[in-house]
Amino acid sequence: MTLFKVLAFSLVILLSYTLFANILPQVQSDPPPEEEPIAPEGMDVAGLVAWGETLFSGKGTCTLCHNDLGRAPDILALDLGTVFGERLADPRYTGKAKGLEGAEAVRAYVEESMVEPSAYVVAGFGKKGTGDKVSPMPAVNAAPILLSDTEMDALTAFLQSRAGVDVTVPLPVAAEEAIAEAEEEEEGPAETAQAALEKFACSACHDLEGSEAEVGPKLGGLGARIGRDGVREAILDPNATVAEGFEPDMMPGDLGAQMRVSELELIVDYLMALPASGAQE
């Protein structure tokens, strides 16, 4: 009889452990997703910095150590502008950022810290017993963190922005875009006016080919008003004459450098033939 009581008591103990385990905060840790969740094409500086910020507490797992518990410098709480200066001024620092200034110094220092953490260890944060020569930080481009070059750029951009300097890392370009650009260059000049307009994205700002864009003035009847030379000048030197109601410095000023003469002539021909606005509506 006592045996049954003992077994029942053991069961009660077991159930209490199970209950305890179930009432604690439940956290499921998933493996990181396979693809990069943020598409890098068309990303601007602000987007890059924001991406860096999510990586800092996400895939980069930086906040695991870089927090207020004292294992690593609490990056988010520090005034990075001053701190980076102090790091580089430290006589112990002999790394890649030595001798650089401003944004480039920050970039070099951050990139070095990410892939070669033991190049310079902040005093007091080295592995116990190594005299601050060996860092306990893993290289972020190696396993298990495995950040890509683009992701590391995003983190660098984030830290540059927190340090109050310019972001000097290149913006990410999607692989397909890079390939497409390479292909286009091999293709040669645009063969038709429409192709040329597309190549230089004229309809992004001007209402052409049904784009209804209103960033720049309507171009109907332009040729009749200012003539062929005027149209050419409007393309090559947009700030020479700015249309009424529009601001200067809006249109790219380097189209002359980008366009081939054949492409320019195609566009000028097209615009000369463009009927006046009234007919377009």
Nearer to other proteins, 127 or 218 (CB): 127
Q: Can you say whether the dihedral through the CA atoms of 14, 19, 22, 23 is positive or negative? A: negative
DSSP 218-274: --TTHHHHHHHHHHHHHHH-TTSSPPTT--TT-S-S-HHHHS-HHHHHHHHHHHHHP
Binding of other proteins by 91 (CB under 8 A):
no
DSSP for residue 33: P
Site string for other proteins, 182-221 (x = CB under 8 A): ----------------------------------------
Nearer to other proteins, 21 or 89 (CB): 21
Residues comprising the chain, all counted: 281
Q: Which residues contact 266 (CB under 8 A, 6 or more apart)?
A: 190, 192, 193, 196
Nearer to other proteins, 70 or 164 (CB): 70
**Hey, what amino acid is at 272?**
M
Structure tokens at 75: 């990056």
**Hey, what amino acid is at 5?**
K
How far is residue 263 from each of residues 87, 198, 238, measured CA to CA in Å?
A: 52, 11, 17
Q: Which residues contact 240 (CB under 8 A, 6 or more apart)?
A: 233, 234
Number of residues that bind other proteins (CB under 8 A): 43
Binding of other proteins by 123 (CB under 8 A):
no
Stretch binding other proteins (CB under 8 A), from 12-20, 160-168, 233-241, 244-252: 12-20
Cα–Cα distance measured from residue 27 to residue 1, given in angstroms and rounded to the nearest whole number:
42
Stretch binding other proteins (CB under 8 A), from 27-35, 152-160, 233-241, 251-259: 27-35
Give the shortest CB-3-to-other proteins separation in angstroms. Answer: 5
Binding of other proteins by 148 (CB under 8 A):
no
Binding of other proteins by 15 (CB under 8 A):
yes
Contact pick of 46, 64, 77, 272 for other proteins (by CB under 8 A): 64
Binding of other proteins by 7 (CB under 8 A):
yes
Nearer to other proteins, 113 or 160 (CB): 113
Structure tokens at 7: 């077994």
Residues that bind other proteins (CB under 8 A): 2-3, 5-7, 9-10, 13-15, 17-18, 20-22, 24-32, 61, 64-65, 69-71, 124, 127-131, 136-138, 142-145
